[in-house]
Chains A and B, each alone.
Chain A
């Protein structure tokens, strides 16, 4: 009997892992305790040993059968809370401290993304690096192969399409923090910065239409304008999200500037380094807890990118480099100023 109890309790612990993390951290210990207690209550139940064992297994199977609905409810209710808790009466807070109840703003901004979300946020940078690697490989001095041009076009288009899909998925999910990387990458293409992006070879200046259509479809799937509200609410609660969007929209251009007309032995290796550095900056940003850590993560990535550029570039590009670092670095600090302003106003109002 004890062995069956142990097996069922062990399996139940695995089932609990299917619940969303905030729910789990709030209730998993209690749920396990209650399940264990219910299983043990069969020790003193009337009937034969086999009947009690079957009762235990029946109890476990009922948990399994109820699991999809229970997980779905936990996810759905968490989403409703993340949307601003508009279903809740005024003055009612959140049961899950990690989610943005009306009194939980600080915890919301302080909660780091999961590893999965952080890797998801790094995907556009890695894809961008891969696509540009394909382009750079075919543009090497003395190598250019016209037959490979089609692949370079496909690679750039793939990055843009993945970014648009990521943006749409982020829209459906209520614009979580990772989705701002996709937003930035889409802006990078749509704004046609320095004429150095995908729009040159894909839809021209109308490249933004695809992104707008994807967001429209996402809103139709969500059957609500709530994601738009969540986009602005997310920025208001956590201004560093804008910094991540700026980082995705502006910083990848560094890789282009350093490569353009500046070929040498280590350019392709340098491009891999840039890609990994950009992705690492995004991951550290998403895994960081405080506003300062997040801004520092992006600034550090840009700083190391600039250092690598100085090492591999000739001195005459250093002026351009300095301009870029000071301008874009300063631009990414603007959200920090807004965040500080918001905190200052909040502090004064609370006195």
Chain B
């Protein structure tokens, strides 16, 4: 289990789009279009990714081992449920579609980032005289 030895040092803090992409994958695997929609929903419409930004980030996350790609066909064969967005798609296109899921290492990085943000938030609240929620 080589990935258990990986360090999250240097990977956090995450940029906002990257954080939202990881958050969108936290609960279930998704394909590109579903990630775009989820990021927009999670950020209440504030972060709207272009495909270039999304796939640039996904390429980096794949290389860093934070997410992994799963062919949708394989998922269907395994009988797993995959979110396919609003159902508007080209006939036969699902054959080429690939989904992304968070790896254990990606989950650790996400948790590390959340812990960092929590610590930052606590410090900030203490400094301005308000108790942490």
CB-based contact B53/A77 at 8 Å: no
Q: B89 near A: Cβ within 8 Å?
A: yes
Binding-face segment, A62-70, A105-113, A182-190: A62-70
Please indicate which of the listed interface residues B2, B63, B90, B93 has the most CB atoms of chain A within 10 Å of its own CB: B63
**Tally of contacts, chain A with chain B, CB under 8 A:** 107
Complex Cα gap A38–B85 (Å): 10
Q: Which of A27, A88, A96 contacts B58 (CB 8 A)?
A: A27
| Complex interface: chain A residues within 8 A of B56 (CB) | 23, 70, 73-74, 77
A138 at interface by CB-CB < 8 Å: no
B52:A34 contact, CB within 8 angstroms: no
Which chain A residue lies CB-closest to B85? A37
Interface of chain B residues 44 through 71 with chain A (CB within 8 A): 48, 50-56, 58-60, 62-65
Given A74-B59, A96-B59, the answer on whether A90 and B5 have CB atoms closer than 8 Å is yes
Q: Is the CB of A93 within 8 A of B63?
A: yes
A95-B88 contact, Cβ under 8 Å, with A62-B48, A66-B50: no
Q: Is B97 an interface residue (CB 8 A)?
A: yes
Collect the chain A residues with CB atoms within 8 Å of residue B51's CB: 31, 34-35, 38, 63
For the complex formed, measure the closest distance between the CB of A46 and the CB atoms of chain B, giving whole angstroms.
13
Identify the interface centre among A26, A27, A65: most chain B CB within 10 Å of its CB.
A27
> What CA separation (Å) do A70 and B52 show in the bound complex?
5
Cβ B63 vs Cβ A77 within 8 A: yes
B53, B64, B88, B97: the one within 8 Å of A40 (CB): B88
Asked if B86 and A88 sit within 8 Å, CB to CB, the answer is no
Per-position 1/0 for A22-51, Cβ under 8 A of B:
010011011101111110110110000000
Complex Cα–Cα for A18 and B58 (A)? 18
Q: Please, which residue of chain A has its CB at the minimum distance from the CB of B3?
A: A91
Among B59, B60, B85, the most chain A Cβ lie within 10 Å of the Cβ of B59
B25 within 8 A of A: no
Q: A62-B48, A89-B65, A101-B63 are known contacts. Are A31 and B55 too (CB-CB below 8 A)?
A: yes
Q: Which of B52, B63, B97 has the most CB of A within 10 A?
A: B52
Q: Is B27 an interface residue (CB 8 A)?
A: no
Q: Knowing A40-B88, A74-B59, A88-B63 touch, does A62 contact B50 (C-beta < 8 A)? A: yes
Complex: A71 Cα to B53 Cα, angstroms: 9
B97, A33: Cβ atoms under 8 Å? yes
A-side contacts of B11, CB under 8 Å: 89
How far apart sit A29 and B98, CA to CA, in the bound complex (Å)? 10
Mark contacts of B27-49 with chain A using CB atoms, 8 A cut-off: 1 yes-contact digit, 0 otherwise. 00001110010000000000010
Q: Cβ of B91: which chain A residues have Cβ within 8 Å of it?
A: none
Given contacts A63-B51, A66-B50, contact A27 B59 (CB under 8 A): yes
Q: Is the CB of A92 closer than 8 A to any CB of chain B? A: yes
| CB of B10 closer than 8 Å to a CB of A | yes
Q: How far is the CA of A66 from the CA of B98 in the complex (A)?
A: 23
CB distance from B76 to the nearest CB of A (A): 17
- Bound CA span A73–B51, Å: 13
- Chain A CB within 8 A of B127 CB: no
CA distance A143 to B109 in the complex (A): 76
Q: In the complex where A81-B63, A89-B65, A95-B62 touch, is A34 in contact with B5 (Cβ < 8 A)?
A: no
Chain A nearest CB, measured from B109 CB (Å)? 10
CB pair B64–A92 under 8 Å, yes or no, is yes
Contact partner of A89 (CB less than 8 A), chosen from B6, B59, B96, is B6
The reply to whether B90 and A36 contact each other, CB–CB distance below 8 Å, is yes
Taking CB as reference atom, which chain B residue is nearest A36?
B90
Q: Write out, one digit per residue, whether chain B residues 1-23 have a CB within 8 A of any chain A CB (1) or not (0).
A: 01101110011000000000000
Chain B residues near A62: list those with CB within 8 A. 48, 50
- CB-CB nearest in chain B for A19: B52
A313 close to B (CB within 8 Å): no
Distance between Cα atoms of A77 and B55 in the complex (Å): 12
A71 touches B89 (CB 8 A): no
Q: Knowing A77-B60, A89-B65 touch, does A63 contact B52 (C-beta < 8 A)?
A: yes
B7 neighbours in A (Cβ, 8 Å): 89
The reply to whether B52 and A92 form a contact with Cβ atoms under 8 Å apart is: no
Query: Is the pair B60, A34 in contact by a Cβ cutoff of 8 Å?
Result: no
- Asked whether any CB of chain B lies closer than 8 Å to the CB of A79, the reply is no
Task: Contact check, B63 vs A34: say whether CB atoms are below 8 A apart.
Answer: no
Return the chain A residue nearest B100 by Cβ: A30
Residues of chain B lying within 8 A (CB to CB) of residue A74: 56, 59
CB-nearest residue of chain B to A37: B33
A238 to B33, CA, bound (A): 40
